[in-house]
Every structure is written in C-alpha cells, then in structure tokens.
Amino acid sequence: MIAKILKYQLRDVMRSKWIIAYALFFLGLTDILFRFGGDGVRVATSMMNVVLIVIPLASIILGAFYLYNTREYIEMLLCHPVKRHQLFWGMFLGLGLPLVLAFTGGVMVPFIYHGAGPEAWTAAGMLAFTGSMLTVIFVGIAYYLALRFDDRIKGLGLALVICLFFTVIYDGIILLVIYMFANYPLEKPVLALSLFNPIDLGRILLLLQFDISALMGLTGAVFRDFFGTVLGMAIALGSLLLWLFVPVYGGFRRFLYKDF
C-alpha cells in the first residue's frame, strides 16, 4: 500500500515545477563552479556552504507547504481503505525522496560530465550523503510542525524560526559558551553541544572531509580523537539518525491520532 501511494506521489512531485527548479538550481550552481574553479574538490567545498544553508531552509519550508496543501487530499485518501501509518510513510517518502533525488542528481551530474578524480568523488559522495540526511531531517521537522499546528501561518513561521535557530543562533550560543568558559577544558562539552544541532553535525562531518588540515591544527587532536575513531563516527552518525527519527516519529504519532 505504501508503494502504491508512493508511486502516484512521486509521479505528482516529479512533475511539479518547483522540484525541477530545485534540481536545476543545484545543477546550475555546480556546473558554474566547475567552469570557474575547475577541480572537483574545490567545487564540493564551495557547494558545502550552499548545502548547509539552502537544504535545511528549502526542506523545512517545502515540507510544511506541501503538507498544508495536501490536507484535503490526505482527508480524501483516508476515506478509502487506507491505513494511516501507510499513508504517512507514503506522504513522507513521497516528498523526501524527490527532494533527495533532485539534490543529489543536481550536484552529482556535473561531476560525471566534467570528470572528477577519486578524491573529488569521495568529497562529492560525502556532500550528497550529508545533504540527503539534512533533507530528510528537515522534511521530518516540517511534517511534525504541519501536523502539530493547523494554522499554517503559525506552522510556517515556526519552521523559519527553527531553521534560523539551527543555522545561525545556535552557533552564536556555542561561541558565547566558548568565550565565557575559555579557562575550562571545553572540548567535550562543545563536542556534545554540536551533536544537538543537525546542521552543525553535518558541517563537522564535511569539515573533516574538506578542511582536515585546518582542523588538525589547534583543535586537531580533539577532533581526530573523537570523529576519527569508529566510536566517534558512530556517535556522529547515530546522532544524525536520532535527529531523523525523533521529529519523524513525532509527526508519525500525530498523524495516527490526529482529527482531520
């Protein structure tokens, strides 16, 4: 049943103008960077900034809009013999998958036709992975918000605030903490803080890929000892998965018991 819902869902979303625009945005940008910069690692590094800002914002806004707009459609489907949990996963994957495909496709295709070395492919792969994770995480948050608040102005407003919080404000707080407690051993608390922000987590995973030599400098030992180990990597990935699971599960529970 999930597959049936997903099939039509994908057909619908893949034909929409905004998903095509979204894919073309990444394709165009990556292509231009290739034409200006040349080598693949540089392109991936430049795309990193874009990915960390655009993907959370786009995913959370599109996610909230999408769910608000399909409200009547969801009601209509629920009058048919469709189970709520099936419909939820159909709707979630129905938006998440096209967004992931549009992003990874948009970024990867120029790497194929411009040609890139193995190092650039690793970088691009890491970029695609992090971007995809951030996409589903923020679609999950958006779904939770849209199901929690029937008032769409409230839901969209909150989505924007959450996005702003994670992209900007949270890092400001971290910097403040670093300054206020400069005389204490801060490595572990700050590392722990970074686990509570999916964008920071994604950023650090990418930093380790791209700016390793810079990070190996002053704080190098800390990062290497933590993210360099299997345990550290597992914790980082586990945190990302938790970030994926918690909002999606919250949305899922809401969807099961919601009055439409």
Partner 1 sequence: MITIKELDKHYGALHALKSVEVDIAPGRITAVLGPNGAGKTTLIKSVLGLVKPDSGTITVDGTEVNGDSDYRRKIGYMPQIARYPENLTLQEIVDMIKDIRGYSGISGTSKHFSGDLDMELWDRFDLDTEKDKPFRTLSGGNRQKVSAVLAFLFRPKVLFLDEPSTGLDPVSSSILKDKILAEKKRGTTIILTSHIMSEVQELADQVVYLLEGRIYFELSVSDLLADTGQQTLERAIARKIGQNGAVASRNGMTQGHRPADGQNKPVHDHYAEREQTFVTEGGTS
Partner 2 sequence: MIKFKGINGWIVILLAVAGTMTTATPPSVEASSLSPGQTNRVFNIGEGEEYSRISDALEQVSDRDTIRIHPGVYREHQLIVAQSVVIIGIDRPVIDAGHQGEGFRIVADSVHIEGLEIRNVPTSHSRDHAAIRFDRVSGGKIIDNRFDDTFFGIYLARSHGVEIRDNQLRAYQTREAVSANGIHLWNSNHAVIAGNIINGHRDGIYLEYVENSEIYDNHAVNNIRYGLHFMFSDDCTYHRNRFEDNGAGVAVMYSKRVMMEDNEFLQNWGASSYGLLLKEITDSEIKHNNFSGNTTGIRAEGSDRVKIHYNRFQRNGWAIRITASSMDNMITQNNFIDNAFDVSTNSRQNNSTFEANYWDKYSGYDLKGDGYGDVPYRPVRLFSLIVERNPMALMLLRSMFVQILDLTERIMPTITPETLVDEKPLMSEVSL
Report the residue count for the chain: 260
Any contact of residue 53 with partner 2 (CB under 8 A)? yes
Please choose which of partner 1, partner 2, none residue 168 contacts, taking the beta carbon within 5 to 8 angstroms, the exact cut-off set by kind. partner 2
Rounded Cα distance, 70 and 143, in Å: 12
Any contact of residue 216 with partner 2 (CB under 8 A)? yes
Per-residue 3-state assignment (H helix, E strand, C coil) for 79-114? CCCCCHHHHHHHHHHHHHHHHHHHHHHHHHHHHHHH
Whether the CB-CB separation of 217 and 223 falls below 8 Å is answered with: no
Tell me which DSSP letter residue 96 carries: H
Token pair belonging to 133: 């994770």
Residues 6+ apart with CB under 8 A from 155: 64, 68, 145, 146, 148, 149
Rounded Cα distance, 30 and 197, in Å: 26
Please choose which of partner 1, partner 2, none residue 101 contacts, taking the beta carbon within 5 to 8 angstroms, the exact cut-off set by kind. none
Rounded Cα distance, 205 and 199, in Å: 10
Please choose which of partner 2, partner 1, none residue 219 contacts, taking the beta carbon within 5 to 8 angstroms, the exact cut-off set by kind. partner 2
Binding mask 219-258 for partner 1 (x = CB under 8 A): --------------------------------------x-
Please choose which of partner 2, partner 1, none residue 75 contacts, taking the beta carbon within 5 to 8 angstroms, the exact cut-off set by kind. partner 1
Rounded Cα distance, 209 and 153, in Å: 39
Tell me which DSSP letter residue 1 carries: -
Q: CA of 165: how far to CAs of 81, 138, 169, 176, 237, in Å?
A: 40, 13, 5, 15, 21
Considering only residues 50, 53, 57, 82, which one is a binding residue for partner 1 as defined by CB under 8 A?
82
Of the pair 87, 163, the CB lying nearest partner 1 is at 87
Q: Decide: helix, strand or coil at residue 150.
A: coil
Any contact of residue 70 with partner 1 (CB under 8 A)? yes
Of the pair 5, 163, the CB lying nearest partner 2 is at 163
Tell me which DSSP letter residue 238 carries: H
Please choose which of partner 2, partner 1, none residue 190 contacts, taking the beta carbon within 5 to 8 angstroms, the exact cut-off set by kind. partner 2
Q: Least CB distance from residue 172 to partner 1, whole Å?
A: 36
Binding mask 2-41 for partner 2 (x = CB under 8 A): ---------------------------------------x
What does the binding site for partner 1 look like in residue numbers (CB under 8 A)? 1, 4-5, 7-9, 11-13, 15-16, 69-73, 75-84, 150-151, 257, 259-260
What does the binding site for partner 2 look like in residue numbers (CB under 8 A)? 41-42, 45, 48-49, 52-53, 167-172, 174-175, 178-179, 182, 186-187, 190-191, 194, 200, 203-204, 206-207, 211-223
